[in-house]
Structure 1
Amino acid sequence: MIISVGVVAYNEQNTLPKLFECIKAQTYPHDKMEIVLVDSMSKDDTKSLMEKFKKENKDFCNIQVLDNPQKKLAGGWNVILKNYHGDAVVRIDAHAEIPEDFVEKNVKVLESGEYVSGGLRPNIIDESTPWKETLLLAEQSMFGSSIAPYRRSEKKTYVKSVFHGAYKREVFDKVGFFNEQLGRTEDNEINYRIREAGYKICYSPDIVSYQHTRNSLKAMLKQKYGNGYWVALTLKACPKCLSVYHFVPLCFVLGIIGTSILAAFGFPILAYLMWGLYWLVAVGMSLLSVKGEKKTWCQLALPFLFFLLHISYGIGSFVGMIKLPFWKYKR
């Protein structure tokens, strides 16, 4: 089976060298691997690094370096889908790392009869400092991130979505391209269409790939805000591709607003109950997160980190809901 490995990148000169080393270390035969690299009009050395990789690695069956003028991730992936030559294509984020058997294990699942495969997605950091380790704990926690099975499940099963999925060519031939009008939820939408087309998305715990946690609290909050914003807008494009848990942070923000208004009018009991329960859970989840970890003073910030992540995501969804009626979405 010829496998096309696709990477879309924008200003990722710091992460691409490590990812390229991961790709070169793959145990799957390189003469059966095509590498498709797409630059989204980067302003740093991203494209030159891609060209260098192409020039220095002749053992792969093919390497392409292409441009994504639209800059959006969905547009970049459509560039790959229009140009790859393999029997299947594997999606890999530029801000990630893969173990040496990643492609090989995906191929094994696809050759067993599955059409889409994927697996675990642990988070990692680029350097170990007490603060970055604390940010990592917040991102890894079910309370700080999500309950998506691909983050932690240890059983083979069929799921709604996977991280770094591998897809047989037939899948995209049937369901079409990514929706380029979506900024952050393009994967939710296309995985929904894949399921509606009758394909199952196979999650295998034997497959592992890693995503870098954002390096700063500011970057992490910006990411959560954007996620919440696009979840709200996606209600106009594909409401069925979303789950209830996507809107929990929005409900939290609305709860803050509602109970605060009631408290201002002399009915504070609901505010007391909501805040008491929230901080009880936040502290409890923080204790679970640091269990077995080396203790540092930075970990005392975990309950407040959870709060900031939830607020940022929720405010993003709130703003998206306000914009939703005015968003000109073309079906």
Structure 2
Amino acid sequence: MATSGIELSLSPGSQLPAVSVVLPVLNEELHLANAVQSILSQDYAGELEIILALGPSKDKTNEIAERLASADKRILLVKNPSGRTAAGLNLALNKSTNPVIVRVDAHAQIQQNYISLAIEIMKSSGAVNVGGIMGAQGVSIFEKAVARAMRSPLGVGASRFHTGGESGYVDTVYLGVFLRAAVIALGGFDERFIRAQDWELNYRLRQAGGKIFFDPRLHVIYRPRSSVKALAKQYFEYGRWRRVVSRRHKGTINYRYLAPPFSLVTALMSIVLALTLNKLFIIPAAIYGIFLILASLLTGKGITERILLPIVLFTMQMSWGLGFLTSPKTLAPSER
């Protein structure tokens, strides 16, 4: 991939590039300090800076960010009035001048060699974006059940960044370590997308000739939602915005994305027909219920997880399906 005469790749023998780690931050007082500490603890020998794009948080997030910045000059702050992820990423992107951009979420933690390993992989693969495992880890009992579901192909599908697998070129990765020039050449993140902005950017990078590379050695600790309500809201939004991507970029949908809405419609029709016409129509809904129980028994570790997992899986799948089915065509304007 090359744009305006710029070769958008890191050559194997090149020097260690300067890196900017960018974090969109909103209401993250519980996790921000740990996320930043995991970045400051990197073993990367090259130049490193951290740019926090601060949204209008309702907790003490911004106070914590200011304390962190005053303690380390490598931490820079930019205001993100809208609080939206894509806008914050672009503001941080524009403040940076370093050739490599590392995206990290404020509720995530990266392994000590994450950046140095990502640079090695970027050099050897010729990719414009590399990423690895979204390693969901919960603290509470409910969070641990959500984490288990997120790591299972029975929960969210078989994407390698969820479930692991061999390294190789893929459609998208979690978070990502980008060549800044490649992202800037395409106009940055699309701020119309409240969710799925990573997937959408990776699609445009691939369409422009860039390569996206997954390597399971890259590992990010992700903290899942801590309640059914928060989990339902998260996956409802995922479904809504994945539908927007599929409308915007034709041919990008596959059976994994159609399974939750299909299951939702089938289960609802089954229940309605069983109540109004014949009890035998309950069979499809019963089969789905049996699937949830069996999936939970196979996936869960311990009795508590196996009890919670049917609720977790049902919430994730039905919320995603409902979001996908009800996503309005007016959700994102057609022009950037």
Provide TM-score, normalisation by structure 2. 0.88
Deviation at 1:327, TM superposition (A): 4.2
Contact 2:22–2:101 (Cα < 8 Å) also in 1: yes
Q: Give the one of 308, 311, 315 matched to 2:322.
A: 315
Matches within 5 A, 1:244-255: 244-255=255-266
TM-superposition CA deviations, 1:27-70 (whole Å, max 9, x none): 012x6112111001222222222222222124x4xx32001122
Contact 1:34–1:85 (Cα < 8 Å) also in 2: no
- Distance of aligned partners of 1:27 and 1:257 in 2 relative to their CA distance in 1, 3 Å threshold: same
Deviation at 1:267, TM superposition (A): 4.8
Do residues 276 (structure 1) and 286 (structure 2) align?
A: yes
**Aligned counterparts of 2:165 and 2:260: Cα–Cα separation in 1:** 27
Deviation at 1:269, TM superposition (A): 4.0
**Aligned counterparts of 1:263 and 1:135: Cα–Cα separation in 2:** 31
| 3-state SS in 2 of match to 1:208 | strand
Contact 1:175–1:193 (Cα < 8 Å) also in 2: yes
**Aligned counterparts of 2:122 and 2:47: Cα–Cα separation in 1:** 15
- Corresponding residue for 2:33? 17
Do residues 300 (structure 1) and 307 (structure 2) align?
A: yes
| 3-state SS in 2 of match to 1:163 | coil
Deviation at 1:253, TM superposition (A): 1.6
- Corresponding residue for 1:77? 89
- Corresponding residue for 1:223? 234
| 3-state SS in 1 of match to 2:76 | strand
**Aligned counterparts of 1:328 and 1:306: Cα–Cα separation in 2:** 28
Contact 1:188–1:241 (Cα < 8 Å) also in 2: no
**Aligned counterparts of 1:210 and 1:243: Cα–Cα separation in 2:** 27
Q: Give the one of 113, 132, 135 matched to 1:101.
A: 113
**Aligned counterparts of 1:103 and 1:328: Cα–Cα separation in 2:** 34
Matches within 5 A, 1:1-331: 1-29=17-45, 32-58=47-73, 60=74, 63-112=75-124, 113-125=126-138, 127=139, 129-264=140-275, 266-272=277-283, 274-290=284-300, 293=301, 295-320=302-327, 323-324=328-329, 326-327=330-331, 329-331=333-335
Structure 1: unaligned runs, 5 residues or longer: none
**Aligned counterparts of 1:131 and 1:150: Cα–Cα separation in 2:** 22
TM-superposition CA deviations, 1:64-99 (whole Å, max 9, x none): 200112221111111122121111101101111111
Deviation at 1:118, TM superposition (A): 0.8
Paired AA for residue 286 in structure 1: S
Contact 1:249–1:314 (Cα < 8 Å) also in 2: yes
Paired AA for residue 156 in structure 1: S
Percent identity, aligned pairs only, is: 25
CA RMSD of aligned residues (A): 2.0
Deviation at 1:261, TM superposition (A): 4.2
| 3-state SS in 2 of match to 1:204 | strand
Contact 2:42–2:114 (Cα < 8 Å) also in 1: yes
Structure 2: unaligned runs, 5 residues or longer: 1-16
- Distance of aligned partners of 1:245 and 1:87 in 2 relative to their CA distance in 1, 3 Å threshold: same
| 3-state SS in 2 of match to 1:144 | helix
**Aligned counterparts of 1:328 and 1:279: Cα–Cα separation in 2:** 35
TM-superposition CA deviations, 1:146-175 (whole Å, max 9, x none): 321111223111111111201112311322
- Distance of aligned partners of 1:145 and 1:158 in 2 relative to their CA distance in 1, 3 Å threshold: same
Contact 2:85–2:194 (Cα < 8 Å) also in 1: yes
**Aligned counterparts of 2:163 and 2:326: Cα–Cα separation in 1:** 30
Provide TM-score, normalisation by structure 1. 0.89
Contact 1:259–1:268 (Cα < 8 Å) also in 2: no
